[in-house]
Structure 1
Amino acid sequence: MQDNELFVILNPHAAKGKAKKQEDMIRTLLGAGGKEVVLYHTEIGNGAERVAFQAAMDGRKVIIAAGGDGTVNEVANGILKAVTLHNIPSPALGVIPIGRGNDFAWGMQIPKPVKEACEVILAGKTRVIDAGVTYGGNYPEGRFFVNGQGVGFEPLVNFLASEFKHVSGTPSYVFALIRILIHYPAPYTVELTLDDQVLNLKTQQLSICNGRRMGSAFLMGPDALFDDGYFDVVYANAPVPSRRMVPLALTFLSGKQVKQKEFSVARVKKLVMKSSDFAMPVHVDGEEISKGCMEFRTELLESILPVFC
């Protein structure tokens, strides 16, 4: 495979279909330095994960996700499946953030303007980051993630925000938050194992953070680092009454929830969460793991994925 080739996986449906309008600009910008640009459109039933997996197996050195966090997650899953199952060197992941939330790109300080994001890729500087893999729900065989995993209240907001037809970005999450607060969720009675520590508690919210931000605006793990060898797990340590949820939800905008008595933080490499009463909604990088599962386990994969930044 030629070293000057850039393999781009573009999701034309990202950002409510606006991403497709960026295709010509992406080709021009990436090809300006003499690089050969190979661009592939994702399609329903023929998504980014399968294409990225095959590209990695074919020995491509650079695989670029042009889309939102969902596209990045799929491309990362394809790459990491090839790396972990077949023990091949990891291609470098490039990101052109043209999606709804772009939380991973924000955390990696990848600029949002297409021109600047392409310049980052062409500069060739990479950072090797950790990733996560979770087992449970719709993915008993495992699904990888690069930014974060949410359980409980946050996935409910995320799932609802993705259903809005004409609203995207931060407003979609704010509207979804208001809707969820009207139908306030009951706490889950769980056994939570953090590395080797076992906790029994009632909780409505848990975030497993590799990156700092989720939901386009919420600093779920304000101190998380992509390459420190740990997840930051931020969780409600007791049921939060409905009268406290709105003021607490606002603290997530600045990351100050970690200073509130209702929340605890742990830095771990693996965890298991089991509910004994209600099924738990779970997502990774905004992608559905389950609308409701009773158990999952998550593990950190240290220093596994080089990313242009």
Structure 2
Amino acid sequence: MSGVPDLFVAIVNPESGSGRGARRWPVIEGKLREALAARGELEVVATRGPRDATRAAREAALGGAVAVLAAGGDGTLSEVVAGVLAAGAAETVALGLVPLGTGGDYPRTLGITDAEHAVDVIARGNERRVDAGRVEYVDDEGRAREGWFANEASLGLSAEVAHRVSRASKRLGGVAAFAQAAVRTIAAFRPAAVRVRVDEAVVHEGDATLVAIANGRYFGGAMRIAPDARLDDGAFDVVVGGELGKAELVARLLPSIYTGRHVEHPGVAVVRGRRVAVEALRGPVRLEADGETLGATPLRAEVLPGALRFLAPEPRRRPSP
């Protein structure tokens, strides 16, 4: 043994949760240092702007870290995942999550209840292999881009809501902030005309309220967009909502999406697959991934089975029949 302690790098977004992350982090950091004292050293890097977490995660992965911990919201986690994958280090570097944001969709799927629970999970060191998504899209300047996501990517109403939330205060908290933005967005929303292919088969062509490519079960601050999705099944659950009236969206679909009952609506289809392509039929359509505005169509996404080593609770096992 070399005697060199393991290096854990925590990448902290102080702006997560409308600044609540900065206020909560010192206490969480103390607990994390105590929990990891017998295993190694903790280095903390604070982000200052967009893509900082990606750069820091890449540097940490290439610099010998055994684990990179994303302390922030779903967007921070997404950037950290992108950095580790871009470094080609997903096989050697574990990922951890300390939820400090407003949405909390990925930790909800993973079974992490709060920041204190996350510290305990990281200290225990149990790992799960989970999938990730790779996506190709077009940026605002029309250039082809490649990226990654941990939880989901989507277009249509959900992407417009994410764009609105990103420009507004999240002081109300995840559920309230996203629900309020959804209602306001619906008022001016027009469905997008798209062609959706899943594993090369056309599953939708025409107007769509939303198309969600789900790795996890939740998005938009506790909306159960894909109730049967699993992080470790090697496939996406692709949720396509056809053209739906605004009154129906507000009165019926929006409330039911929090329980997952929206998938029973005749205008909603769920298709499972490994590869997804979305082509806009009436001009570019805005995209989002893990709650952050990404770019625009055309979109191509593929699942990366078991690509990530995640420090996580043991998955709940369904009882035997």
Which residue number corresponds to residue 265 of structure 1?
A: 270
SS at match of 1:204: strand
Which residue number corresponds to residue 12 of structure 1?
A: 14
Task: Write the distance in 2 (CA, Å) between the matches of 1:88 and 1:160.
Answer: 32
Q: Is residue 120 from structure 1 mapped to residue 124 from structure 2 by the alignment?
A: no
| Residues 88 and 16 (structure 1), Cα distance of their counterparts in 2 relative to 1, 3 Å cut | closer
Which residue number corresponds to residue 168 of structure 2?
A: 164
Q: Give the letter for the 1:159 counterpart.
A: H
Q: 1:243 aligns with which of 241, 247, 250?
A: 247
Which residue number corresponds to residue 98 of structure 1?
A: 100
State the identity %.
28
Which residue number corresponds to residue 298 of structure 1?
A: 301
| Residues 55 and 201 (structure 1), Cα distance of their counterparts in 2 relative to 1, 3 Å cut | same
| Residues 88 and 104 (structure 1), Cα distance of their counterparts in 2 relative to 1, 3 Å cut | closer
Q: 1:195 aligns with which of 199, 204, 215?
A: 199
Contact 1:52 1:75 in 2 (8 A): yes
Q: Is residue 31 from structure 1 mapped to residue 33 from structure 2 by the alignment?
A: yes
- What are the ranges of 5 or more consecutive residues in structure 2 without an aligned counterpart? 313-321
Q: Give the letter for the 1:49 counterpart.
A: T
Contact 2:103 2:175 in 1 (8 A): yes
Task: Write the distance in 1 (CA, Å) between the matches of 2:254 and 2:96.
Answer: 32
Task: Write the distance in 1 (CA, Å) between the matches of 2:22 and 2:77.
Answer: 16
Where does 1:103-252 land on structure 2 (aligned, <5 Å)?
103-112=105-114, 114-138=115-139, 140-165=144-169, 166-183=171-188, 185-199=189-203, 200-236=205-241, 238-246=242-250, 247-252=252-257
SS at match of 2:196: strand
| Residues 244 and 81 (structure 1), Cα distance of their counterparts in 2 relative to 1, 3 Å cut | same
**Deviant stretches of 4+, over 4 Å:** none
Contact 1:132 1:146 in 2 (8 A): yes
Contact 2:90 2:308 in 1 (8 A): no
| Residues 46 and 197 (structure 1), Cα distance of their counterparts in 2 relative to 1, 3 Å cut | closer
Contact 1:210 1:231 in 2 (8 A): yes
| Residues 181 and 58 (structure 1), Cα distance of their counterparts in 2 relative to 1, 3 Å cut | same
Alpha-carbon offset, residue 27 of structure 1: 2.8
Cα root mean square deviation, aligned: 1.7
TM-score of the superposition, structure 2-length normalised? 0.89
| Residues 143 and 46 (structure 1), Cα distance of their counterparts in 2 relative to 1, 3 Å cut | closer
Q: Give the letter for the 2:19 counterpart.
A: G
Contact 1:80 1:90 in 2 (8 A): no
TM-score of the superposition, structure 1-length normalised? 0.92
Size of the aligned set, in residue pairs, is 301
